Amino acid sequence: MIQRIIFATAIACLLIAAPVQSQTVIYESDVLHHPVVGQNGMVASQHTLASEAGLEILKKGGNAVDAAVAVGFSLAVVLPRAGNLGGGGFMMLYDSKSNETKSINYREMAPLTSHRDMYLDPDGNVDRMKVIASYQAAGVPGTVAGLAMALEKYGTMSLKEVMKPAIKQAEDGFVVTHDLARILRNSTRRMRAWPETAKIFYKGDDFYEAGDVLKQKDLAWSLKQIAKHGPKAFYGGEVGKRLVADMVDNDGLITMDDLAAYEAEDVEPVWGKYRGYDIASMPPPSSGGVHVIQMLNMLEAFPLGYMGHNSAETIHIMAEVMKRAYADRSEHLGDPNFWDVPVEGLTSTEYAASLIKDLDRWTATPSDDIKAGKPQAYESEETTQFTVVDKQGNVVSNTYTLNFSFGSGIVAKGTGILLNNEMDDFSAKPGTPNAFGLLGGEANSVQPKKRPLSSMTPTMVFKDGKPYFATGSPGGSRIITTVLQVILNIIDHDMNVSEASNAPRMHHQWYPEELYIEKGVSYDTQSLLRSKGHVVKYRNAMGSTQTIMIRDGYIFGSTDPRRPDGSCVGY
pLDDT in tens, 243-272: 999 999 999 999 999 999 999 999 999 999
pLDDT band at 444 (very low <50, low <70, confident <90, very high): confident
Of 471, 440, 464, 465, residue with least CA distance to 453: 440
Q: Verify whether residue 387 is a known catalytic residue.
A: no
> Across residues 50-75, what is the average pLDDT?
98
HEC string of 71-97 equals: HHHHHHHHCCCCCCCCCEEEEEEEECC
Residue 19 pLDDT class (50, 70, 90 cuts): very low
Instruction: Please name the residues in contact with 129: beta carbons below 8 A apart, sequence gap of 6 or more.
Output: none
Answer whether residue 487 shows pLDDT above 60: yes
pLDDT greater than 60 at residue 506: yes
Query: Helix, strand, coil proportions of the chain in percent (round to 5)?
Result: 35, 20, 45
Model pLDDT, residue 433: 59
DSSP 120: B
Residues 403, 469, 395, 342, CA torsion sign: positive
If pLDDT is split at 50, 70 and 90, which confidence band does 26 have? low
Q: What is the pLDDT of residue 370?
A: 75
Strands (E), 355-456: 383-390, 395-401, 411-412, 417-418
Give the pLDDT mean for 465-490.
96
* pLDDT score at 22: 36
> How many CA atoms within 13 Å lie on the side-chain side of 224?
12
Position 44, amino acid? A
The per-residue pLDDT for 443 is: 80
pLDDT higher than threshold 50 for residue 169: yes
Q: Does domain 269-381+455-570 have CATH number 3.30.559.10?
A: no
Count Cα atoms within 13 angstroms, Cβ side, for 485: 31
DSSP state of 269: P
Domain range list for the chain:
53-266+406-444, 269-381+455-570
Mean pLDDT confidence for 399-423 = 97
Average pLDDT, the chain: 91
CB within 8 Å of 284: residues ≥ 6 apart: 290, 333, 334, 335, 336, 341, 343, 453
Which stretch of 215-219, 428-432, 471-475, 496-500 has the lowest confidence by average pLDDT? 428-432
* Separation of alpha carbons 410 and 412, rounded Å: 6
Report the phi/psi class of residue 73: left, alpha or beta, with left for phi > 0 and alpha for psi in -120 to 50: alpha
Taking residues 527-535, what's their average pLDDT? 97
Backbone angles phi, psi at 491, to 5 degrees: -80, -50
Cis upstream peptide for 231 (omega within 30°): no
Q: What is the mean pLDDT of residues 44-73?
A: 98
Q: Which amino acid is at 3?
A: Q
pLDDT at 6: 28
Whether the per-residue pLDDT at 392 is higher than 90: the answer is: yes
DSSP assignment of 163-219: THHHHHHHHH-EEPPHHHHHHHHHTHHHHHTSHHHHHHHSBTTB---TT-EE--HHH
Quote the CA–CA distance of 273 and 462 in Å, as a whole number: 9
Q: For position 375, what pLDDT does the model report? A: 56
Give the C-alpha separation, 429 to 425, whole Å: 11
pLDDT at 15 over 50: no
Q: What percent of the chain has pLDDT over 70?
A: 91
Strand partners, 90: 105, 399
Peptide bond into 512 cis (omega under 30): yes
pLDDT tens profile 115-139 = 988 988 898 888 989 999 999 999 9
pLDDT of residue 4: 30
CB neighbour class for 511 (10 Å; exposed up to 12, middle 13-18, buried from 19): middle
Contact between 312 and 525 under an 8 Å Cβ cutoff? The reply is yes
Sheet holding 546-551, edge to edge: 36-38, 554-559, 546-551, 466-471, 459-463, 277-281, 270-274
Q: Are 501 and 559 in contact (CB under 8 A)?
A: yes
Lowest-confidence region among 18-27, 51-60, 64-73, 79-88: 18-27
Rounded to 10 deg, the angle between the 479-491 and 288-299 helix axes is 40
Q: What is the pLDDT of residues 335-360, one digit of tens each?
A: 999 999 999 999 999 999 999 999 99
So what's the pLDDT on residue 1?
Answer: 35
Catalytic option among 143, 383, 457, 559? 383
Q: Is the overall model pTM greater than 0.85, yes or no?
A: yes
Determine the average pLDDT of the residues in 454-476. 96
411 neighbors 222 (Cβ within 8 angstroms): no
